[in-house]
A = this chain, B = another copy of it.
């Protein structure tokens, strides 16, 4: 029994490590999509568009690992929560990979036009979304409630940046119709980055749920209080 238990814990640790690997991959794809936009580097964007196979493979591998852990070990209570959370986090990370593709697609269209303006807030959104994702996964692996709560708080900043970008670009569009098409793509990119933050928020909520056995979802705006 001792042996089986140790095997289960090894498998669980290995699952967490693979989730971190997948998180690192999706984060890198977000970084590359924003960098390609900033540097007007179309081939970097092409690489993002062509490079989703490793994440898709990991998505299937992780789902499979979760199923096997559930089916073979029939874990109880705390471990069950971790594995079900892993199923959800796996889905969130795969969507982040898809959003990197959406950013790269909009970025490619953007590069066909003259720059609308120097981009300042979009790279800030990109960095914030990446750090939220990293922190949410670290919180999952290290079982760190405070870090997960910091991710929830950061989401408000990301939303505020998105609103600011929208207002600013609207002004450009109204003043100069030549900016309408490229500005639309920047607006879409800011929305994709906001959704990456939403996925990081989902992960953080799952972490808080695992650790506190308390459901912090649907508790209204703002981060929940620390216990």
Which residues in A have some Cβ–Cβ distance to B below 8 Å? 53, 56-57, 59-60, 63, 66-67, 70-71, 74, 76-77, 80-81, 84, 87-88, 91, 170, 173-174, 177, 180-181, 184, 187-188, 191, 215, 217-218
Whether B173 contacts A60 by the Cβ 8 Å rule is no
Copies in the complex: 2
A–B pairs, 8, beta carbons within 8 Å: A59-B218, A60-B215, A63-B215, A67-B84, A70-B70, A87-B87, A174-B180, A188-B191
Whether B60 contacts A84 by the Cβ 8 Å rule is no
Whether B88 contacts A70 by the Cβ 8 Å rule is no
Closest to A176 in B: B177
Bound: A218/B54 CA distance, A: 11
Residues of B within 8 A of A57 (CB): 218
The smallest C-beta distance from A75 to any residue of chain B, in angstroms, reads 9
Residues of B within 8 A of A66 (CB): 84
Whether A59 contacts B173 by the Cβ 8 Å rule is no
Whether A67 contacts B80 by the Cβ 8 Å rule is yes
Residues of B within 8 A of A217 (CB): 56, 59-60
Bound: A88/B86 CA distance, A: 12
Bound: A80/B72 CA distance, A: 11
Residues of B within 8 A of A180 (CB): 170, 173-174, 180
Closest to A188 in B: B191
Bound: A208/B9 CA distance, A: 31
Closest to A98 in B: B198
